[in-house]
Amino acid sequence: METQEKKIILSGIQPTGTFTLGNYIGAVRNWNKLQEEFNCIYMIADMHAITVRQDPAKLRQNTVQAYALLLACGIDPEKSIAFIQSHNKCHAEINWVLSCSTQFGELSRMTQFKAKSEKHPDDINAGLFTYPVLMAGDILLYQSDLVPVGVDQKQHLELARNVAQRFNQRYGELFKVPEPYIPEVGAKVMSLQDPTAKMSKSDDNPNGCIYILDDKDTIIRKFKKAVTDSEAVVRYAEGKDGINNLMTIYSVVTGKSFEDIEKEFDGKGYGDFKLAVGEAVADHLEPVRSEFDRLMNDKAYLKECYTKGAEMAGRIAQKTVSKAYRKVGFVDFR
């Protein structure tokens, strides 16, 4: 990671299965580009994952695969810090301090807590309620300037900002107050079967979600089944949620504007358009799939990368933890 003065940007993703096309377009794809402009810190958020019950063996497997996917998507461990969250104890340590600067009412208003509680009514655990504080700690540990967030994560970043400001007011300046980084295009990819809902790996309809490790035939088949409308005209407009979603995806993977896309498919039907989108997405993701396979066959290299990443992240985070502990009045240990 370069040491010259650049803004610090942090982001993480949970290892709860293969990244979707939505994860890729809305977040991971942009991380590759960001590391050229910023000092980037990327983590696999395995601590967040256990707010919902996980099979331990599967979680370990998913965590390593998620790390390999980060590298396959272009994250360079020589340019960025890339690590696994649970390998850095500072995340757990700062969590308690920040919990004591977070209001119960703030957490009770978190919309994702409400949504996950409804989805998992038999396991509404304390971690599910307080994990936005852990997320705040993830961000504040590294004095992050910017945090790439999707629309549905803005509330959590706002909480991190509030906690940072409250701590600074009580104990003196320590935490940098982060700003959101939201991509203008592709920030939110919708389900292919219900274009009013976000694409999600938990979609009940398997045809609604594209995984970045899906093979070409699977990707094309899913796009052929994508929900559109009865107008049969490829144009971006209100009330055309399915076509708008496909145009957004096609625009991101080809670099074409909506105007160019409309001209390209003028006089053509939705069948031609959906096939073109599927082929473009499959071709765009092929290098990722190939590199992922190569990395998963070199476990020693992966371990070397995530161990080095955790050590680098730990050195930065420990400085913040030590300062925070001293500010709240804890006796120095070393």
| Domain ranges across the chain | 8-187+299-328, 206-293
Question: In this predicted structure, what is the pLDDT of residue 188?
Answer: 75
Backbone angles phi, psi at 39, to 5 degrees: -80, 110
CA–CA dist 60, 71 (Å, integer) = 17
pLDDT at residue 186 greater than cutoff 80: no
Closest CA relative to residue 14, chosen from 200, 281, 182: 200
The mean-pLDDT minimum among 18-32, 175-189, 267-281, 320-334 falls in: 175-189
pLDDT at residue 248 greater than cutoff 70: yes
Residues pairing with 8 in the sheet: 39
The mean-pLDDT minimum among 21-25, 116-120, 134-138, 244-248 falls in: 116-120
CATH pick for 206-293 out of 1.10.240.10, 1.10.10.10, 3.30.390.10, 3.40.47.10: 1.10.240.10
| β-sheet with 179-181: strand ranges across | 81-84, 39-44, 8-13, 146-148, 179-181
Q: What percent of the chain has pLDDT over 90?
A: 75
Q: How far is CA 191 from CA 94, 172, 205, in A?
A: 36, 45, 9
Question: In this predicted structure, what is the pLDDT of residue 70?
Answer: 92
Q: Which residues form the catalytic set?
A: 116, 198, 201
Q: How far is CA 294 from CA 2, 51, 122, 258, 303, in A?
A: 27, 31, 40, 35, 14
CA dihedral over 316, 319, 325, 328, signed as positive or negative? negative
Question: What is the model's pTM?
Answer: 0.84
pLDDT bucket at 151, cuts 50 / 70 / 90: low
Q: Reduced to 3 states, what is the DSSP secondary structure of residue 270?
A: helix
CA–CA dist 191, 187 (Å, integer) = 13
pLDDT bucket at 231, cuts 50 / 70 / 90: very high
Three state DSSP letters for 62-79: HHHHHHHHHHHCCCCCCC
pLDDT bucket at 209, cuts 50 / 70 / 90: very high
Q: What is the mean pLDDT of residues 137-149?
A: 94
**Summary mean pLDDT of the chain:** 91
Instruction: Name the more confident of 202 and 266.
Output: 266
Question: In this predicted structure, what is the pLDDT of residue 120?
Answer: 73
CATH architecture assigned to 8-187+299-328: 3-Layer(aba) Sandwich (3.40)
Question: In this predicted structure, what is the pLDDT of residue 2?
Answer: 47
pLDDT bucket at 152, cuts 50 / 70 / 90: low
Angle between helices 90-99 and 299-328 (to 10 degrees): 30
pLDDT at residue 145 greater than cutoff 50: yes
Closest CA relative to residue 225, chosen from 241, 239, 206, 238: 206
